[in-house]
Structure formats: C-alpha cells, structure tokens
Amino acid sequence: MLSRLSFSSLIFSTVLISSTLQAAAPNIILIMSDDMGFSDIGCYGGEIQTPNLNRLAEGGVRLSQFYNTGRCCPTRASLLTGLYPHQAGIGHMMEDRGQDGYRGDLNNSSRTIAEVLKPAGYRTYAVGKWHVTKHAVPEGPKHNWPLHRGFDRFYGTITGAGSFYDPGTLTRDDAMISPFADPQYKPKQYYYTDAISDHAIRFIDEHVRDQKEKPFFLYMAYTAAHWPMHALEEDVAKYRGKYDAGYESVRQARLLRMKQMGLIAKDAEISPTKGDWTQVKDKAWEARCMEVFAAMIDRMDQGIGRVVSTLEKNGLTQNTLILFLQDNGGCQEPIGRQARPPAFNEQSFPVIAQDAIRVDVIPKQTRDGKAVKQGVGIIPGGPNDYIAYGEAWANVSNTPHREYKHFVHEGGISTPLIAHWPAGIPASRHGKIEAQPGHLVDIMATCSDVAGAKYPAEVEGRPVQPMEGVSLLPLLQGAGLASRSIFWEHEGNRAHRAGPWKLVAKEDQPWELYNIDQDRAEQHDLAGSEPDRVRSMAAAWDAWAARAKVLPLGTWKKPAGNKPAKAARKKN
C-alpha cells in the first residue's frame, strides 16, 4: 500500500507530467487518404478491416459532419492553406484557366501549414501525393514543390495518380527518382502505399535521432484508394467472396452499422442504390474490383498502425495530435472500365531502363515492355492493369449519401475526421462522435492553435490572405463552435451550409434545399416551400463567390491557351 506521502507524490508527479505535456507543443500528423467514401473504414460503418484507424477513433473523437471540397487537388490546396481552394489558386485542376482562382498552382498570397509552423520551431515532413502544382517534370520550375513550401523533407509524387508499382513523378526531397534505382530504399517489392508508410516511419525515427528537442509536423497523403485498383494479393485474399452478394447488400449492412454507432439518425434514409446486381454479367470481375479496393484501404491501415507503433516506441504517443480524413467522396470515374479491342491489351513496347524517370499518370506499358491492360473483364490488382472500381461501388462507399467525387452533394464532400491526442483531448471525450459541421479550412486554424504558431499577415512585404477556418480544438475538447456558414464550388456545382440547412445545386441547375439534420441523404428538396431561405442563402453564396475568387462561374471548363475545350475535363 502507498503511504500518504508517496501517494501525494504520485499525484503531484502525474499532474506535473500532464502539465508538461499540455505545455509542450504537440507533434502533429495529418493523414489523408484518396478517393474513399464516407462509410469505407470500420469506425464509420464499413466492413473493411481498419483496426488501427478504429483504435485511434476509440481513443479520440470522430466528427460525423466534416467536409472536404469534393475533388483531390482543390482539397489539398484548401487543407494545406486554410483557405477555400480558389483563394489558393486551385479552383479546379492543374491547368491555368486565365483567372486568379484557377491558376492550377498554389499562389504566393497563401501559406501552407508547414510554412506557418516552421517559425514556431517545428520540423516539417511530407510523404505521398502533393498535387498542388502544374509543374510536374524534372527540369521544370519547383517553386511549389514541397521543399519550397515549408517542408524540410519530402518523399512522394508531384502529380495526382499513377501506378502503385511504378509511380510517375516519384520524388525525394527536390529531385525525381526511379523506385528501382533508389539507393536509399530497396524493398523486396515496391508498392507505393508501403513506401509512403515506410518513409513516414523513417522521418519520425530520424527526427527523434537528430531533432528530438523540436516538435514535428508530418503530412501523410496516401494515394490509396485512388484508381488504378492495385493491391497485393496477400491483402486481396482477405476479401475474397466478401462482395459476392452485390451492392445493395453491402449498403444496407453499412447503413445498419452506422445507425448503431450513432453516426447517422436511427430513422435516416438512404439514397437510391446505383446498379442492379442481378443484371451484372460478370459478377466475379465486378466483385474483384471491390475486393481490390478494400485491400488497398487495408494496406493503408496497416501502414498507419506501423506509424503509430513508431510513435509508441519513441515515447511520442501522448503528445502527438493525429488527424485522419479523406480528400473527396467515392470516385465514380470509369477509368479502364470501357470495352477495348483485344489488340489494345496485347501490344508490346521497348523495355524502359530501371533508372529512367517516369512522369506518366496512366502508363501505356510496364518497364519490361508489357502493355498496361484496360477494359471490361481485365482483372485488377497487378502492375500491368489499370482499372477503376466504378460508379456502383462508389455509391456503396458513399453510403448513405447522394452523388460522388466532383459533386457537392453529401456523397461528394462528406469525409470522416478522426482526431487522436491523449494529452489534449480529455479521456471523457474518447470514443465520442461530434455532429457539429467542420471543413478543411479548419485544419490550418487547428494546427496553428495547438502549435502556438502565429499565422502571418504578410511575408516579405506581401500580404497573406487571412485564414478562413476556425480551430476545432474547443470542439474536440467538448465545447461548441459558433454558428457559421460553409461554402463550396467545383465545376459549377455549388453549395452553402448554415446550421442544419444546406443549399446545393449541380452545374447550371436550380438550387435545392435540404435540412441535413433530418435528411442527410438529400432526398426531400424543400426549396419550393422555403423560397425566402433559398433567396437569402443564395445571396450569401453569391457574396462569398465574389470575394473568394470563384467567379466567373464556369472558368473551370474554359480552354487553357490553345487546348481544345474537351481537355478541361481530364480526369485525375
């Protein structure tokens, strides 16, 4: 039994340790996955095995109404800068459309989280997908590559997609490399998801060895589970047969789990199911697409687990804030699913040297000269295929929401947000689900808040655009946030969220109005019965669009230079 003195000493020591942890600036790890839906991971209702993310959720807080921007690079621009994407110069994709909101490059009136945290004493690291610059060739400008936007180290890809076995634009620090001629990293089999996890672990270990007196910021941007559907067979094996019952069965099982978890209301509706499983001609192939998609997420979760174990090994778990989220909803893009003539997949090509630098997003061939195969019935998973999982499975990923990536209905912009920080989130909040809305613009505000960093008003005499978001720390700790409006625009799709109300429209279509508290699946349009609310919210959207560099609306599809207009819809 402890004496009264020793017990008092223990209490004092515990309080002292807790106070020290609270006083010390936390490490921050920001993890983003790619092209996943709201319900894919286990702690948001999915059947995919994500035990490591589930444990982070159990020891932290989940937000049930957190939002991205509905597309990959606008989301990354918003996440990194705390601005709406147009304000950062990336209102659409990586092309200059002749307007400041659509330059396809981070502008110099924005600051990245890394640029804001460095003056506060942070070391900064990035691994994975960058995708916020139009300059993605070895000999081109690098002013918007990671090391020129505040990061001390980088390993990843500059562009937005590519093979998981031989990714194009692979870069270490400031130089493009080949994964097969890299003296610093020689795995038995190169797989990009593993390479991202491995380099995150390397950067943490090196930080502890060389810079342990400083806190660190680590940005981990996985490409899982973006097309192509590439996964290791050992992971695919876990999911064989799991999707043989088809789309509706999986959606209903997810819906039930989400209701049981409290992520959605007990009486929540579900949007209509896309695809009729009874009419699918090649069910084995269609199921295989989802099996590979699940395996990609599984492998990412394994890597996140290894990163968390590295924190534990180095005694960093308590005072590290980990945030996990996704860049957009499930992706309906039909890449590689169209019918192809047999000759298309049987071409042969010259061998590509092992040390050659690749920049292709959709490669025509593997390095050994084999054609990269696409088309209905091509089995996904290996290095010489390039297939997406399709609209019907994307609809499953987005359960119970409506629409997909590209759109700003709930299926396009709803993402999990898991926050885990033992020293900063009270134990009474662990495992809680928070329903207040949040947005990507809040991540900059949150990181600068917990880091004690000052967001600058200007840099080198140039004015810096003020942050748009608010710190989520009060929300994570159990307090509320002030009511506010959140806005979206992408490809003419637009929305305004204020309290429970959401005004939303597709390009060139009239406004729709939903009460999200009562109708998250957006099935009951109230615009006709609430004309005054529609007018008021639409006027607020117009004012936001004017100040946030969204206008002129439609700029996203105007041709850049002499390119034909159809090039504007290039998928990435």
> Quick count: other Cβ atoms within 10 Å of Cβ 563?
12
Residue 348 confidence (pLDDT): 87
Q: Where are the beta strands (DSSP E) in 100-204?
A: 123-129, 153-157, 170-172, 175-176
Q: Check residue 177 and give its pLDDT.
A: 98
Amino acid 342: pLDDT: 75
pLDDT at residue 11 greater than cutoff 60 = no
Question: What is the residue type of 145?
Answer: W
Looking at residue 371, the DSSP 8-state letter turns out to be B
Q: What CATH number does residue 138 fall under?
A: 3.40.720.10
Coil, strand or helix at 216:
strand
346 within 8 A of 369, measured Cβ to Cβ: no
The domain in which residue 416 lies consists of 38-341+389-482
- Regarding predicted confidence, which is higher, 14 or 82? 82
Q: Is residue 439 part of a domain?
A: yes
pLDDT tens-digit readout, 514-559: 999 999 999 999 999 999 999 999 999 999 999 999 999 999 997 6
- Mean pLDDT over 470-475 rounds to 97
- Would you say residue 402 lies in a domain? yes
Do 443 and 30 meet the contact criterion of CB atoms below 8 Å apart?
A: yes
Distance of CA 540 to the CA centre of its chain: 28
For 298-331, what is each residue's pLDDT tens digit?
Answer: 999 999 999 999 999 999 999 999 999 999 999 9
Separation in Å, CA 117 to CA 146, 151, 212: 14, 10, 16
Write out the catalytic residue numbers: 72, 131
For 7-24, what is the mean pLDDT? 40
pTM summary value: 0.93
Cα 280 from Cα 68, distance rounded (Å): 32
Pick the closest to residue 403 from 506, 488, 502 (CA basis): 506
Q: What is the model's pLDDT at position 1? A: 32
Q: Which amino acid, one-letter code, is at 509?
A: Q
In a domain, 369, yes or no: no
Tell me the per-residue pLDDT of 94-135, one tens digit each, with 9 for 90 and over. 999 999 999 999 999 999 999 999 999 999 999 999 999 999
63 to 14, 325, 414, 417, 428: CA distances (angstroms): 30, 10, 10, 5, 16
Angle in degrees, CA 496, 401, 271, rounded to 5: 120
Burial of residue 13 (number of CB atoms within 10 Å: 0-12, 13-18, 19+): exposed
Q: What 3-state DSSP class applies to 312?
A: helix
Give the Cα-Cα-Cα angle 515, 408, 42 (nearest 5 degrees).
85
Q: What pLDDT is recorded for position 343? A: 76
Please indicate, yes or no, if residue 563 is contained in any of the structural domains: no
pLDDT at 94 (0 to 100): 95
Q: How far is 172 from 156, CA to CA, in rounded Å? A: 7
Is 288 a domain residue?
Answer: yes
**Ordered alpha helix ranges (H), 314-440:** 391-397, 410-413
Residue 567 has pLDDT above 60, yes or no: no
Structural domain total, the chain: 1
Predicted local distance difference test score (pLDDT) of residue 340: 80
Q: What is the dihedral of CA 49, 51, 53, 55, to 10 degrees?
A: 150
Q: Distances from the Cα of 102 to the Cαs of 131, 267, 345, 393, in angstroms?
A: 14, 41, 37, 31
* 510 occurs within a structural domain: no
Give yes or no for a cis peptide into 228 (omega within 30° of 0): yes
Give pLDDT, residue 381.
Answer: 98
Q: Is the pLDDT of residue 571 over 60?
A: no
User: Which pLDDT score is estimated for 344?
Assistant: 74
* Cβ neighbourhood burial of 449 (10 Å; 0-12, 13-18, 19+): middle
Q: Has residue 569 got a pLDDT over 70? A: no
In the prediction, which pLDDT does 341 show? 76
Taking residues 368-381, what's their average pLDDT?
95
Q: Helical H runs in 94-232?
A: 113-117, 192-211
Does any domain span residue 105?
Answer: yes
CB of 472 within 8 A of CB of 66? no
Query: How far lies 267's CA from each of 270, 274, 400, 512, 521, in Å?
Result: 10, 21, 12, 22, 11
Q: Is residue 197 part of a domain?
A: yes
- Greater confidence (572 vs 479) lies with 479
What was the pLDDT predicted at 339? Answer: 81
**Dihedral of alpha carbons 426, 431, 432, 436, sign:** positive
The CA distance from 158 to 179, in Å, is 14
Spatial CA neighbour of 144 closest among 83, 180, 94: 94
Q: Using 50, 70 and 90 to split pLDDT, how confident is the model at 47?
A: very high
144-191 pLDDT, tens digit per residue, is: 999 999 999 999 999 999 999 999 999 999 999 999 999 999 999 999
Distance CA 176, CA 29 (A): 24
Q: What angle do CA 226, 227, 230 make, to 5 degrees?
A: 100
